[in-house]
A and B are shown apart, each in its own frame.
Chain A
C-alpha cells in the first residue's frame, strides 16, 4: 500500500517538529495510543488499540524516527503486530513553513498490511484511516494551541515529569509514557494475563498509515 499526502498544522515548523518528536505529545495525540516506551534515541515500543468492529485490536510494536534533518524531514519506520494482523511502514515526512506561519507536512508512506486486516479489512482501511487522521490532526492542533492539557503519566528510571513540547531525545531510555484512561483496549478481553499484548503489533504504523490516507483524502476533498 502506497500512500502520500499532506496536512497543514497551525503552528510554526519548530513547534511542530518538537511536538512530533515528543513522546508525551505523541502518546496523547496518536489515536488509540496507550503507551510509548522509549528504548533509545527516537526509538519507541508502542501499544496502540485501533480498528473497527470485528477487526479492532491491540497492537504492540516498535517505532523509530531516523534520518532526522531538523525542521526539514525525517523517516519513520514502524512495525508491529496484534491479533488482527501485522503492519509495517516506512514513512518519509517533510516539514515546510507556509506563508501564514503554519506548517505544511508532506507524507510518503509504503505500508504492508498483513494477517486478517490484510485480507478482510483492506476496504475499510481508508475510512478508518480518515477518521484516525482527523483525530490526530485535531489533537495535535489542540496541543499546539495549548487548548489540550497534558495529562500524560510518565514512569521510568528518571521518573521525571513530562515536559510538553520537548524533544523525545530528552526522555531517558526506559521512560514510559501512558495516555490517560480511554475507552478501548480489548484484544485480549476474556483472557487472563494482560501482557500478551506485547505480542507484536504496530498500531503505530496502522495509525500512521491511517493518518496518511486521511491526509490524502483530505487533500483530494480540497
Chain B
C-alpha cells in the first residue's frame, strides 16, 4: 500500500529551490523591461495647485511621464471600492494618480517610466508640484473629534458606524452583580514582507494580450481590475504570480495604483514595464493595520461568568476605504472568542485619518478583538481574585453546544456559527504544557530573588476558510505525472507540498509525481485568493474533490481495459490493479493515453491510442457524456467559515531596573482541525508567533502631528531578530475536524499572531501587578508605568 501522506510531516518541496536562491520573483523576470518610479506626496494633506513635468521630458532615458491629466476612461476614475457594505455610508478611494487632493504622505502623484530605476528616480526629482498644504488629521482622537476633516464631505471623519447586538447587553450589565469598564488601545503596525510590491506587465502587440506578473495574493482580482480599468476583455489579460516574498495581507488585492499604471504604460509604450517598490515606499504607500481605541463595559456574576458585554471601538482606517469594513467587522465579531456572553452589543466607528490606508494584516482585526476580550477576562479575574483560567473556563462554549450560533453576521455576510471545537480540552492541554498550576510557586520564588516574572494567557477563535469558492484542476499526463493547478496564490505557505500530499493520497500516486501550480489565471481563471487562512480549507478541499473526479475516470477507463468493475480496482503507487490480483494491472500513464483517442502518434506511448488500435468502431471515440483527456476539475464553496481556535501562554521576565522584557517560555495549543502536514502548521505557528512578538513589543508607526511617518525605515522601525523570538515554542495540537469540508480542515496561517498583544499584556501585568491597557509596550513605556504606579502608591494613603 502507498503510505498515507495526509497528516505526515513531509519536508517542503519548495525549500530546496528557495534556499538555493533559485526563486523567481517578479523583479527577476524580464531584465530588459523599462522601470517605473512614482512621485509621492511629501505632505499628509494638501491640494495640488499645479504639477510641472517639463524638466523631466528632456532627461535622457526617460520614456514617459504620467499625471492624472494623462489618465483616460476608467483609469481617471477613483480606484474601486472593493467590498461595499450598507453601513459604509462614506466610502472613499484614491485615484491611481492624485487628481486634486492628497490625503497621506506617500500618495501617488506622478509616474515616470525610464530605461532604469536610477533614471526614473532622478527624473521624479525634477517634477515640481505646487501644494496648498492643509492641516492633517492624525490619530484616532483627532479623527473622532472631527474638528478637522480628511475629506470635506465626510462629517466627523466617519466612514461608517456599525452596530450589532444580540440580547440586551445594557440591561444585563445594569442588572449584573459586578461591573467593570476598560479603556484600551492598540497601535498601528504593518506586515513588512521581505519582498515589497512588484508588478511587471507586457502588452503583446501581436496577439493583443496583456500579461501581468505581480506579487499579489489574488491573481484573479488583479486580472479583473486590470481588465476593467484598461477596457480589456477578461480573456485578454493573464495574471501570473511568480514566487512571492511574503504577503501577510498587504498583498491582498486593493488594487495598487501601480498594478494598474504599469499595465497601462506597457500597453501605451508597447514595451514591458516594471515597478519594484523600495522599502521606504512600502512604509508610506502600502497598507497598515491594527490601530484602535476600545471601550468595554461588562457585567458578570460571582464566578466571572459574562452576563452582558458592551463594546465600543474606534477604528483608524487611514485615508481611504478600498477594502471596506472587513477589519473592524472581524474585530467586532471575533472578539467573542471561545466565550458566550449571551448579551452582546458592539458599536464601531471606522474613521478617516491622513495616513496610509488600513487593510488586513495577518490576523486582520482579530488581534485587536482578542485583546479587548482577553484584557476583560483578566480584569474580571483580578476583580474577583480568581485564577485567570477559571474565569475563562466558566465562559467557554461547551463541546456539546456545536454548532454554536452567536446570532451575529460575520465578515462574509454569513451567520457567525462555530462549527466545532473543544475549548475545555484545549485549556487543559495548555495548562499542562506550560505548568500553569505550578507558576504561582515560580513567581513567588522569583520575587524572593528580586526578579519579576509573570505568566499570561490568551484564547482565540479564528474564522477561517471564508468563501465564496476555490477550484482545483488535476491532470494526469501520459507520463503518469500529475499536474495540479489552483487559482489562489502562494507566498511561502508550502501549498506545493500540502496540496501534493492530498493529491498523492486521493489518486494513489507517488508524491514526487505531483506538481502543483498556483496563482496563474491561464491555468485557473476562476479563483478568489489567499487570505483569511483559507488556502488549505478552500483549495485543499477543491483539489481533493478534483482528484476524486480524476480517480473515478481512471477507474472507469481501467475497468474497461482490464475487463472488470471500478469497485474491484485500487490505485497503488501510480498503478491501477485488481484488488487481490496485483498481476492484473495498468499504469496510470497508459490510462491517460487511452483517455485521449488520437489520430496521430508522436511517440511509442501514444501509438496505443490511435484510431486503428483502440475503440469500438460502432461507437463515437469519445462518448457523449465524456471528454477526452484524463483530468478532473471541481470547485469547493462552503456554506460559511470554519472556526479554528487556540490558546497561547507566555512567561516573561521584566528587568526590575531597565524594564526590559524577556520571554522565558512560549506555549501554544492549536486546533485547526485535521492537519495535512504538522511541519507546515508548526512553521506557520512559529512565523505567526515571531510576528506577534514584534507586534506586541516592538512595532509601531510613529506618525507625528503633521502626518509624517518618522520611522519609515528599518533603522527606526523595530522588528524582532531571531534573538527576540522565543528559542523554543512549545506546541500541542488538538484536532477537532470541521464538519463543513471533505477533509475536516480549518485554517492555520494567521493563528500564531492573533493572541500576541493579549498574551503579552496578560504576562506583563502578572509580573508587574498593575493593568496594561495599551499595546505594544516598550521598556520605556513600562518604566514610565512603574513610576506612575509608584507615585500613585505613595500618594494613596493621603488621597
Q: Point out residues on A near B: beta carbons under 8 Å.
A: 1, 81, 83, 85-86, 88, 112-116, 118-120, 122-123, 187-188, 190-193, 195-196, 198-200
Residue of A nearest to B129 (CB): A200
Q: Flag the segment in B246-254, B371-379, B711-719 that touches A.
A: B711-719
Inter-chain contacts of B712 with A (CB < 8 A): 118-120
Q: Which of A118, A120, A187 contacts B105 (CB 8 A)?
A: A118
Beta-carbon contact of B43 and A120 below 8 Å: no
Beta-carbon contact of B125 and A187 below 8 Å: yes
User: Bound complex: CA of A116 vs CA of B122, how far in Å?
Assistant: 14
Inter-chain contacts of B126 with A (CB < 8 A): 188, 191, 196, 199
User: Within 8 Å of chain A (Cβ to Cβ): is B59?
Assistant: yes
Beta-carbon contact of B125 and A199 below 8 Å: yes
Using a CB-CB cutoff of 8 Å, which residues 676-728 of chain B contact chain A?
704, 706, 708-713, 715-716
Inter-chain contacts of B711 with A (CB < 8 A): 119, 122
User: Bound complex: CA of A120 vs CA of B280, how far in Å?
Assistant: 8
User: Within 8 Å of chain A (Cβ to Cβ): is B432?
Assistant: no
Residue of B nearest to A116 (CB): B280
| Interface 0/1 of B115-136, CB less than 8 Å to A | 0000000110111110001000
User: Bound complex: CA of A187 vs CA of B129, how far in Å?
Assistant: 17
Report if A123-B284 is in contact (Cβ < 8 Å); known contacts: A114-B706, A192-B58. no
Inter-chain contacts of B127 with A (CB < 8 A): 199
Beta-carbon contact of B42 and A86 below 8 Å: yes
Beta-carbon contact of A190 and B60 below 8 Å: no
User: Within 8 Å of chain A (Cβ to Cβ): is B344?
Assistant: no
Report if A119-B125 is in contact (Cβ < 8 Å); known contacts: A113-B708, A192-B59, A193-B58. no
User: Bound complex: CA of A114 vs CA of B709, how far in Å?
Assistant: 9
Report if A119-B283 is in contact (Cβ < 8 Å); known contacts: A88-B133, A112-B706. yes
User: Within 8 Å of chain A (Cβ to Cβ): is B55?
Assistant: yes
User: Bound complex: CA of A116 vs CA of B711, how far in Å?
Assistant: 11
User: Bound complex: CA of A1 vs CA of B702, how far in Å?
Assistant: 13
Residue of B nearest to A2 (CB): B705
Report if A119-B55 is in contact (Cβ < 8 Å); known contacts: A86-B43, A199-B128. no
Q: Which of B44, B55, B716 contacts A196 (CB 8 A)?
A: B55
Using a CB-CB cutoff of 8 Å, which residues 43-62 of chain B contact chain A?
43-44, 55, 58-60
Report if A190-B122 is in contact (Cβ < 8 Å); known contacts: A114-B105, A196-B55. yes
Report if A188-B125 is in contact (Cβ < 8 Å); known contacts: A120-B715, A193-B55. yes
User: Bound complex: CA of A122 vs CA of B709, how far in Å?
Assistant: 9
List 9 A-B pairs, Cβ < 8 Å.
A112-B706, A114-B706, A118-B706, A118-B712, A119-B284, A119-B711, A122-B711, A123-B710, A188-B125
Inter-chain contacts of B709 with A (CB < 8 A): 118-119
Beta-carbon contact of A114 and B708 below 8 Å: yes
From residue B94, how far is it (CB to closest CB) to chain A in Å? 18
From residue B102, how far is it (CB to closest CB) to chain A in Å? 11
Q: Point out residues on B near A: beta carbons under 8 Å.
A: 42-44, 55, 58-60, 105, 122-123, 125-129, 133, 280, 283-284, 704, 706, 708-713, 715-716
Beta-carbon contact of A112 and B708 below 8 Å: yes
From residue A107, how far is it (CB to closest CB) to chain B in Å? 20
Inter-chain contacts of B55 with A (CB < 8 A): 193, 195-196, 199
In addition to A85-B42, A114-B708, 10 A-B residue pairs with Cβ atoms within 8 Å of each other are: A114-B105, A115-B42, A119-B713, A123-B710, A123-B716, A188-B126, A193-B58, A193-B59, A196-B125, A196-B126
Inter-chain contacts of B44 with A (CB < 8 A): 114
User: Bound complex: CA of A88 vs CA of B706, how far in Å?
Assistant: 11
Inter-chain contacts of B128 with A (CB < 8 A): 198-200
From residue A5, how far is it (CB to closest CB) to chain B in Å? 20
User: Bound complex: CA of A29 vs CA of B59, how far in Å?
Assistant: 34
From residue A221, how far is it (CB to closest CB) to chain B in Å? 23
From residue A99, how far is it (CB to closest CB) to chain B in Å? 39
Beta-carbon contact of B42 and A114 below 8 Å: yes
Inter-chain contacts of B133 with A (CB < 8 A): 88
By Cβ-Cβ distance, the 4 closest A-B pairs, closest first, are A119-B712, A115-B42, A114-B42, A118-B708
User: Bound complex: CA of A196 vs CA of B128, how far in Å?
Assistant: 9
User: Bound complex: CA of A86 vs CA of B710, how far in Å?
Assistant: 14
Inter-chain contacts of A192 with B (CB < 8 A): 58-60
User: Bound complex: CA of A13 vs CA of B123, how far in Å?
Assistant: 46
The winner among A114, A119, A190, A196 for most chain B CB atoms within 10 A is: A119
Residue of A nearest to B702 (CB): A122
User: Bound complex: CA of A191 vs CA of B709, how far in Å?
Assistant: 29
Residue of A nearest to B128 (CB): A199
User: Bound complex: CA of A192 vs CA of B123, how far in Å?
Assistant: 11
From residue A178, how far is it (CB to closest CB) to chain B in Å? 22
User: Bound complex: CA of A15 vs CA of B123, how far in Å?
Assistant: 44
User: Bound complex: CA of A1 vs CA of B55, how far in Å?
Assistant: 32
User: Bound complex: CA of A196 vs CA of B58, how far in Å?
Assistant: 11
Beta-carbon contact of A81 and B42 below 8 Å: yes
Inter-chain contacts of A122 with B (CB < 8 A): 708, 710-711, 716
Residue of A nearest to B707 (CB): A114
Inter-chain contacts of A198 with B (CB < 8 A): 128
Inter-chain contacts of B704 with A (CB < 8 A): 1
User: Bound complex: CA of A214 vs CA of B122, how far in Å?
Assistant: 32
Inter-chain contacts of B284 with A (CB < 8 A): 119
Beta-carbon contact of B43 and A83 below 8 Å: no
User: Bound complex: CA of A197 vs CA of B27, how far in Å?
Assistant: 32
Residue of A nearest to B52 (CB): A199
User: Bound complex: CA of A85 vs CA of B43, how far in Å?
Assistant: 10
Beta-carbon contact of B59 and A118 below 8 Å: no
From residue B84, how far is it (CB to closest CB) to chain A in Å? 33
User: Bound complex: CA of A83 vs CA of B60, how far in Å?
Assistant: 19
User: Bound complex: CA of A195 vs CA of B60, how far in Å?
Assistant: 15
Report if A119-B122 is in contact (Cβ < 8 Å); known contacts: A86-B43, A193-B55. no
User: Bound complex: CA of A196 vs CA of B710, how far in Å?
Assistant: 27
Residue of A nearest to B59 (CB): A191
Inter-chain contacts of B708 with A (CB < 8 A): 112-114, 118-119, 122
Inter-chain contacts of A193 with B (CB < 8 A): 55, 58-59
Beta-carbon contact of A118 and B280 below 8 Å: no
User: Bound complex: CA of A187 vs CA of B55, how far in Å?
Assistant: 14
User: Bound complex: CA of A119 vs CA of B706, how far in Å?
Assistant: 12
Residue of B nearest to A60 (CB): B128
User: Bound complex: CA of A22 vs CA of B105, how far in Å?
Assistant: 36
Inter-chain contacts of B122 with A (CB < 8 A): 188, 190-191
From residue B47, how far is it (CB to closest CB) to chain A in Å? 15
From residue A197, how far is it (CB to closest CB) to chain B in Å? 9
Residue of A nearest to B284 (CB): A119
Residue of A nearest to B55 (CB): A196
Inter-chain contacts of A81 with B (CB < 8 A): 42
From residue A201, how far is it (CB to closest CB) to chain B in Å? 10
Inter-chain contacts of A114 with B (CB < 8 A): 42-44, 105, 706, 708
From residue B409, how far is it (CB to closest CB) to chain A in Å? 39
Residue of B nearest to A120 (CB): B713
From residue B45, how far is it (CB to closest CB) to chain A in Å? 11
From residue A106, how far is it (CB to closest CB) to chain B in Å? 24
Inter-chain contacts of A86 with B (CB < 8 A): 42-43
From residue B67, how far is it (CB to closest CB) to chain A in Å? 16
Inter-chain contacts of A118 with B (CB < 8 A): 42, 105, 706, 708-710, 712
From residue B132, how far is it (CB to closest CB) to chain A in Å? 12
User: Bound complex: CA of A191 vs CA of B712, how far in Å?
Assistant: 27
User: Bound complex: CA of A113 vs CA of B105, how far in Å?
Assistant: 11
From residue A21, how far is it (CB to closest CB) to chain B in Å? 27
User: Bound complex: CA of A106 vs CA of B713, how far in Å?
Assistant: 34
User: Bound complex: CA of A123 vs CA of B702, how far in Å?
Assistant: 12
User: Bound complex: CA of A83 vs CA of B55, how far in Å?
Assistant: 14
Inter-chain contacts of B43 with A (CB < 8 A): 86, 114
